[in-house]
Amino acid sequence: MSTNSWVRSFVGIPAFAILGSGWAEAKTPQLRRVDAAAAVVGTPVTFAVEPSDSEGEQLSLRYRFQVRAQGGNYQVIRDYGPLTTLDWTASKREGLYEMEVSLRNVETGEESSATLVVDFRTALVDGSAIVSPTVNSLVFLYSAPRCASGGRMRVEFSGADGVTQNTPYQNCNGKSMNFYLAGMRASSNYKAWHRLDTGTSFQLSGAQGFTTGELPGDLYQQQVVMPRASALVDPLLLGSPLGLRPLAHDLAGNVVWYGPSDISILTRIGTGGEMWGLVEVGGGEPSLQLLRKFDLTGMTLLETNAARVNEQLRLMGKREITCFHHEARTLPGGRIAVLANVEQILTDVQGPGPVDVMGDMIVVLDKDLNVIWAWDTFDHLDVHRLAVLGEPCPSACPPMRLAATGTDWTHGNAVQQTADGNLLYSSRHQDWLVKIAYEFGSGDGHVLWRMGKDGDFNIDSTDPYPWFSHQHDGNFETADPSRLMVFDNGNTRVAAMKGGHSRGQVFEVDEINRTARPILNVDLGVYSAAVGSADRLRNGNYHFDAGFVQTVRGFDAYSMEFDQAGKVFYNSKADNILYRSFRISDMYTPN
DSSP string covering 418-429, please? -TTS-EEEEEGG
Amino acid identity for residue 413 in this structure: N
Does a structural domain hold residue 221?
no
- Same domain (yes/no): 12, 81: yes
* Residue 241: HSE in the Cβ half-sphere, 13 Å Cα cutoff: 24
- What is the rounded CA–CA span in Å between residue 534 and residue 561? 10
Task: Name residues whose C-beta falls within 8 Å of residue 502's C-beta, 6 or more positions apart in sequence.
Answer: 487, 488, 489, 490, 524, 526, 527, 528, 532, 546
pLDDT of 282 reads 84
- Same domain (yes/no): 18, 143: no
Burial of residue 98 (CB within 10 Å: 0-12, 13-18, 19+) is: middle
pLDDT of 26 reads 36
Amino acid identity for residue 584 in this structure: I
- Same domain (yes/no): 302, 417: yes
- What is the rounded CA–CA span in Å between residue 294 and residue 263? 10
**Reduced to 3 DSSP states, what percent helix, strand and coil does the chain have, rounded to the nearest 5?**
10, 45, 45
- Same domain (yes/no): 387, 270: yes
Does residue 394 have a cis bond before it (omega within 30 degrees)? yes
Region of 470 (left: φ > 0; alpha: ψ -120 to 50; beta: rest) is left
Q: How, if at all, do strands 45-49 and 31-33 pair?
A: antiparallel
Sign of the dihedral defined by the CA atoms of residues 337, 339, 341, 344, in that order:
positive
Per this entry, what is the length of the chain?
591
> How many separate domains does the chain show?
4
Closest among 409, 567, 413 to 488, alpha carbons compared: 413
Beta bridge partners of 203: 196
Cα-based distances in Å from 536 to 468, 518, 564: 18, 15, 10
Q: Are 215 and 137 in contact (CB under 8 A)?
A: yes
Does a structural domain hold residue 73?
yes
Does a structural domain hold residue 317?
yes
- What is the rounded CA–CA span in Å between residue 477 and residue 507? 10
- Please report, for the domain that includes residue 24, its CATH number: 2.60.40.10
Per-run averaged pLDDT (10 residues), the chain, 591 residues? 28 29 53 89 94 60 95 96 96 96 91 95 92 98 95 97 95 95 98 96 96 96 94 93 95 97 95 96 91 98 98 97 97 96 97 97 97 98 97 88 95 98 98 98 98 98 97 96 98 97 98 98 98 97 98 96 97 97 96 76
Identify the three-state secondary structure at position 320.
Answer: coil
- What is the rounded CA–CA span in Å between residue 102 and residue 150? 38
- Same domain (yes/no): 108, 70: yes
Does a structural domain hold residue 30?
yes
Does a structural domain hold residue 413?
yes
Q: Could you give the residue ranges of the DSSP H alpha helices within 278-433?
A: 306-315, 377-380
For 557, the enclosing helix (H) or strand (E) is strand 555-562
pLDDT of 398 reads 84
Using the 8-state DSSP alphabet, how is residue 586 labeled? B
Domain end call among 455, 480, 514: 455
End-to-end Cα separation, the chain, in angstroms: 27
Identify the three-state secondary structure at position 233.
Answer: coil
- Same domain (yes/no): 285, 415: yes
Host domain of residue 181: 130-211
Q: How, if at all, do strands 236-241 and 247-250 pair?
A: antiparallel
- Same domain (yes/no): 355, 448: yes
Q: What b/e sequence results for 515-538 when a residue is b if at least 16 CB atoms lie within 10 Å of its CB, and e otherwise?
A: ebebebbbebebbbbbbbbbbbbe
Cβ neighbours, 10 Å, residue 203: 12
- Same domain (yes/no): 476, 330: no
- Same domain (yes/no): 483, 406: no
Domain end call among 53, 86, 120: 120
- What is the rounded CA–CA span in Å between residue 163 and residue 544? 26
- What is the rounded CA–CA span in Å between residue 280 and residue 458? 38
Our measurement of the distance from residue 250's CA atom to the centroid of its chain's CA atoms, rounded to an integer in Å, reads 20
Using the 8-state DSSP alphabet, how is residue 478 labeled? S
Widest CA span in the chain: 76
Does a structural domain hold residue 388?
yes
Region of 514 (left: φ > 0; alpha: ψ -120 to 50; beta: rest) is left
Does a structural domain hold residue 18?
yes
pLDDT of 12 reads 27
Identify the three-state secondary structure at position 113.
Answer: strand
pLDDT of 35 reads 84
- Same domain (yes/no): 41, 91: yes
- Same domain (yes/no): 101, 175: no
- Same domain (yes/no): 103, 141: no
pLDDT of 51 reads 67
- What is the rounded CA–CA span in Å between residue 251 and residue 211? 22
- What is the rounded CA–CA span in Å between residue 289 and residue 283? 10
Using the 8-state DSSP alphabet, how is residue 36 labeled? -
Domain end call among 60, 94, 120: 120
- What is the rounded CA–CA span in Å between residue 76 and residue 96? 17
Using the 8-state DSSP alphabet, how is residue 525 labeled? S
